[in-house]
């Protein structure tokens, strides 16, 4: 018995040790500018010593396993479409018990996989595909701040003995360790550089030279390139840059952008670049701060636009900027969350489905963040999130062509910081208020009727008594829509739309289908069809999709405010009859609901990218339930409109009697 108990104890200790020895892979990020893969973990051990890289062909690829590791995020699958050597990266949990994470990387056929190098830098495994240097960065990076000085800044304080102080040369540590060599490539630039510093003392005009000792790289930037492009001034480099609140100056009129914790390459330092009628000058303002000075008569027009990899910034003229062409990646604002540390410090987090390209505009009374490639957001969810909180003055609007504009009213003395996630899908706004009192308790929102009263858009009964509806089956012909496992979106929308039309016709509605067969129609042709038939309402039917496979549910989209009532009523019926997740209402600028002049909505009836929901949408039960829901919502909307018409008539009669 004693031996048996000892045996059990040993088994327990081994199991206990193995459980807590497992490394947690917390995030996977691909840096497009430096062409490197960052795998962040919770371990400080050099597990790369135990990693074996295996080369395979047909297709040309490598894979390696990370032993004793657990992937805490979902499977990561990066599709690289830039046409370079790298084609795809897949990171997944290959097995459990033992826990092994597998990384598979696909290349162009002529790429030499021997060029791939693996390093362990702090808690990151870094896969390097070329000879560029790399950096170690926290997940959330400070992209913008109001404050000029912070305790995280890296300053070397010196004593003034004369007007000329030479830099202390610190030899570069030589080591055979590969990862240390990579770090030293960039660290050498900081430690052994001598840069002029403006000292606000009696030695104001001294050309003081200093050196950086033990320079930390976590939040620093090496500015190495400046280009005056057609759409703005592009600053590029390595590291994670941040921008301080711009400073407008007079005589001459100019705008100053300071980049803290930044070293400027000597090749561009103190050079002047021409941008239209304005000039741009780059300098090293302090030992660890770069300065960009734009001489311009209209400093209000310039805004800094951040790239998705946080490695470059485009200082652009917002008046002439064609932001449609900033990126070909479109994203959605999935959700937002109000945060609070105490009565002085709170903020708002934005979560996007794909990397977001954004810009920050700060003036005395407002903060504006432009999310240029964001297509849609849930207007009601966002209002519900901020209502009754310290961020209640927040507002999001759709911009004229594409993108979202977030605005926040500020008080004098408020201090703002903006952070960007390493995957560029999370933007964090932190606000330190100057108010003596702030809201301390959120007031729960009671969702009531959405506004539907708009006299110009209330359906007026036709003399014929007809109730006219246009149903728009999404896609068709050579436009298949979303495709998964041989199933096409256009086939599902055709079927469901025909069912909706049949139900409505049986109840006396006059229904027009933009297409009743499998043919190709442009978006404008659909709009023209609707306008020619002059319906009371327009409903476009689509099937949703996502890069992942887990998303499910129904959505209803509207654009014009007079379409909110239709969206709400139809969506309520869908939520009632369709057994799927209720994802809510979205204010979106889809072409067909933006350019039609009658109340118009676009419904997403499920996700074709989810295997279970895809199979369910193919069943007779789901298709009929979906058609019944949409038709029921339309009928309920007409009933609501009749009620509104009666109330208006009653109000008008009262006014007439008073006269």
Residue 530: which of 591, 574, 480 has the closest Cα? 591
pLDDT at 9: 55
Stronger pLDDT, 182 or 357, i.e. the higher one: 357
Would you say 265 and 274 are in contact if contact means Cβ atoms under 8 Å apart?
no
pLDDT at 88: 83
Q: Which sign does the torsion angle of CA 146, 150, 154, 159 carry?
A: positive
| Helix/strand/coil for 377 | strand
pLDDT at 220: 64
Rounded to an integer, what distance in angstroms lies between the CA atom of residue 393 and that of residue 407?
8
Q: Global pTM?
A: 0.52
Rounded to an integer, what distance in angstroms lies between the CA atom of residue 93 and that of residue 116?
22
Other C-beta atoms within 10 Å of 242: how many?
A: 26
- Structure tokens that stand for 389 in this block: 């909180």
pLDDT at 358: 92
Range name among 143-152, 381-390, 396-405, 614-623 with the lowest pLDDT average = 143-152
Rounded to an integer, what distance in angstroms lies between the CA atom of residue 147 and that of residue 281?
23
Confidence of residue 171 (pLDDT cuts 50, 70, 90): very low
Stronger pLDDT, 52 or 447, i.e. the higher one: 52
> pLDDT of 563-613, one tens digit each?
999 999 999 999 999 999 998 888 888 889 989 999 999 999 999 999 999
- Structure tokens that stand for 115 in this block: 């060029």
Range name among 54-58, 305-309, 351-355 with the lowest pLDDT average = 305-309
Confidence of residue 269 (pLDDT cuts 50, 70, 90): confident
pLDDT at 178 over 90: no
3-state secondary structure 294-337: EECCCHHHEEEEECCCCCEEEEEECCCCCHHHCCCCCECEEEEE
pLDDT at 432 over 50: yes
Would you say 410 and 367 are in contact if contact means Cβ atoms under 8 Å apart?
yes
> pLDDT of 469-493, one tens digit each?
999 999 999 888 888 888 999 999 9
Q: Looking up tokens 């309402």, which residue turns up? A: 537
pLDDT at 323 over 60: yes
Stronger pLDDT, 537 or 546, i.e. the higher one: 537
pLDDT at 455 over 80: no
> pLDDT of 74-109, one tens digit each?
777 777 655 567 888 888 888 888 888 899 998 888
pLDDT at 165 over 50: no
Would you say 91 and 39 are in contact if contact means Cβ atoms under 8 Å apart?
yes
What is the CATH code of the structural domain delimited by 22-128? 2.60.40.3500
What is the CATH code of the structural domain delimited by 468-643? 3.40.630.40
pLDDT at 145 over 70: yes
> pLDDT of 393-403, one tens digit each?
899 998 877 78
> pLDDT of 580-592, one tens digit each?
999 888 888 888 9
Within the chain, all domains assigned CATH 2.60.40.3500 are found at 22-128, 333-432
Range name among 67-81, 408-422, 484-498 with the lowest pLDDT average = 67-81
Q: What is the per-residue DSSP string for 612-627?
A: HHHHHHTSHHHHHHHH
At the second CATH level, the architecture of 333-432 is: Sandwich (2.60)
Rounded to an integer, what distance in angstroms lies between the CA atom of residue 181 and that of residue 325?
38
Rounded to an integer, what distance in angstroms lies between the CA atom of residue 413 and that of residue 410?
8
pLDDT at 206: 33
Q: What angle do CA 53, 54, 55 make, to 5 degrees?
A: 120
Residue 408: which of 362, 455, 442, 352 has the closest Cα? 362
Range name among 67-71, 97-101, 181-185, 654-658 with the lowest pLDDT average = 181-185
Would you say 469 and 534 are in contact if contact means Cβ atoms under 8 Å apart?
no
Q: What angle do CA 608, 614, 620 make, to 5 degrees?
A: 130
Confidence of residue 200 (pLDDT cuts 50, 70, 90): very low
> pLDDT of 249-264, one tens digit each?
888 888 899 888 888 8
Q: What share of the chain is helix, strand, coil (3-state, %, to 5)?
A: 25, 35, 40
């Amino acid at each position: 018995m004693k031996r048996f108990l000892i045996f059990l104890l040993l088994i327990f200790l081994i199991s206990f040790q193995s459980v807590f020895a497992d490394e947690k892979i917390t995030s996977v990020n691909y840096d497009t500018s430096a062409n490197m893969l960052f795998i962040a973990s919770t371990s400080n051990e050099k597990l790369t010593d135990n990693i074996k890289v295996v080369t395979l062909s047909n297709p040309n690829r490598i894979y390696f396993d990370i032993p004793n590791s657990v992937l805490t995020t979902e499977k990561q699958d990066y599709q690289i479409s830039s046409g370079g050597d790298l084609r795809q990266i897949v990171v997944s949990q290959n097995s459990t018990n033992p826990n092994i994470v597998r990384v598979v990387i696909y290349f162009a056929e002529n790429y030499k996989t021997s060029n791939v190098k693996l390093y362990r830098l702090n808690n990151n495994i870094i896969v390097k595909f070329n000879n560029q240097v790399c950096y170690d960065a926290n997940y959330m990076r400070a992209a913008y701040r109001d404050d000029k000085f912070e305790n995280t800044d890296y300053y070397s304080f010196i004593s003034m003995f004369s007007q000329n102080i030479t830099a202390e040369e610190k030899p570069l540590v030589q080591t055979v360790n590969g990862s240390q060599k990579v770090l030293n490539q960039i660290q050498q630039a900081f430690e052994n550089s001598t840069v002029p510093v403006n000292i606000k003392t009696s030695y104001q005009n001294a050309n003081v030279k200093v050196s950086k000792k033990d320079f930390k790289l976590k939040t620093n930037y090496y500015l190495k390139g400046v280009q005056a492009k057609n759409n703005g001034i592009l600053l590029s480099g390595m590291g994670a840059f941040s921008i301080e609140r711009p400073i407008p100056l007079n005589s001459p009129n100019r705008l100053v952008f300071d980049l803290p914790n930044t070293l400027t390459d000597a090749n561009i330092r103190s050079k002047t670049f021409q941008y239209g009628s304005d000039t741009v000058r780059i300098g090293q303002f302090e030992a660890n701060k770069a300065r960009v000075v734009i001489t311009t008569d209209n400093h209000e027009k310039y805004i800094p636009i951040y790239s998705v990899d946080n490695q470059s910034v485009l200082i652009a003229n917002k008046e002439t900027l064609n932001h449609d062409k900033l990126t070909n990646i479109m994203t959605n604002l999935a959700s937002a969350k109000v945060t609070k540390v105490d009565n002085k410090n709170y903020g708002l987090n934005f979560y996007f489905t794909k990397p977001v390209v954004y810009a920050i505009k700060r003036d005395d009374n407002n903060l504006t963040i432009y999310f240029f490639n964001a297509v849609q957001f849930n207007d009601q969810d966002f209002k519900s999130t901020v209502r009754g909180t310290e961020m209640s003055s927040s507002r999001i609007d759709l911009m004229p062509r594409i993108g979202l504009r977030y605005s926040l009213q500020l008080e004098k003395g408020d201090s703002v910081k903006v952070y960007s996630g390493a995957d560029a899908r999370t933007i964090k706004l932190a606000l330190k208020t100057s108010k003596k009192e702030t809201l301390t308790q959120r007031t729960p929102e009671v969702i009531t009727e959405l506004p539907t009263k708009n006299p110009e858009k209330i359906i007026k009964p036709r003399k014929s008594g007809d109730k006219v509806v246009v149903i728009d089956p999404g896609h068709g012909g050579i436009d298949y829509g979303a495709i998964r496992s041989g199933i096409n979106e256009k086939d599902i929308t055709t079927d469901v739309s025909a069912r909706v039309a049949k139900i409505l016709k049986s109840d006396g509605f006059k229904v027009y289908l933009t297409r009743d067969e499998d043919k190709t129609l442009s978006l404008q042709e659909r709009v023209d069809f609707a306008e020619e038939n002059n319906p009371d309402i327009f409903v476009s039917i689509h099937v949703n999709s996502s890069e992942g496979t887990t998303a499910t549910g129904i959505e209803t989209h509207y654009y014009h405010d007079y379409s909110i009532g239709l969206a709400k009523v139809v969506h309520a019926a869908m939520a009632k009859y369709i057994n799927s997740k209720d994802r809510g209402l979205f204010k979106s600028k889809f072409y067909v609901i933006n350019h039609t002049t009658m109340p118009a909505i676009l419904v997403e009836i499920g996700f074709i990218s989810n295997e279970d929901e895809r199979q369910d949408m193919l069943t007779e039960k789901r298709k009929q339930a979906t058609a019944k829901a949409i038709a029921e919502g339309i009928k309920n909307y007409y009933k609501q409109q009749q009620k509104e018409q009666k109330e208006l008539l009653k109000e008008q009669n009262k006014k007439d009697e008073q006269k």
